[in-house]
Amino acid sequence: DAGVIQSPRHEVTEMGQEVTLRCKPISGHDYLFWYRQTMMRGLELLIYFNNNVPIDDSGMPEDRFSAKMPNASFSTLKIQPSEPRDSAVYFCASSLTGWTSFPDTQYFGPGTRLTVL
């Protein structure tokens, strides 16, 4: 398996532009997570899905952020309009349901480094 795939790996955009980050989870995994990592705030969970349904989006910073999972093999995280403070590394991760019915070990993608000028 190729692991979790994210694209693009790097994105540089100007303030006010729309940004779309993409993620392909590991085949068969039923959980998908979006994280943001910055020096100031560390690793933050933005949203996660179970069987393509958003379960908890309380970490989404504001209405400019939206995430979708139209099918089991694809998810997007969109920022519109983007701002310089959105600059960060965005990670996607996936996992299987564990024996306690919660997600088990998470497998992370390589991340997308977003720079908003």
Contact footprint for another protein (CB under 8 A)? 4, 33, 42-43, 45, 48, 56, 91, 93, 100, 102-103, 105-111
Half-sphere exposure (Cβ direction) of 116: Cα atoms closer than 13 Å: 18
**Whether 13 contacts 115, CB under 8 Å:** yes
Smallest separation (angstroms) from another protein to the CB of 23: 11
Q: Tell me whether residue 81 or residue 97 sits nearer to another protein (CB atom).
A: 97
Q: Tell me whether residue 106 or residue 115 sits nearer to another protein (CB atom).
A: 106
Residue with tokens 């990592």: 37
Q: Tell me whether residue 71 or residue 100 sits nearer to another protein (CB atom).
A: 100
CA distance 100 to 67: 26
Smallest separation (angstroms) from another protein to the CB of 3: 9
Smallest separation (angstroms) from another protein to the CB of 11: 15
Smallest separation (angstroms) from another protein to the CB of 81: 27
Q: Reduce the DSSP state of residue 61 to 3 states and report it.
A: coil
Q: Tell me whether residue 81 or residue 113 sits nearer to another protein (CB atom).
A: 113
CA distance 75 to 5: 11
**Whether 32 contacts 74, CB under 8 Å:** no
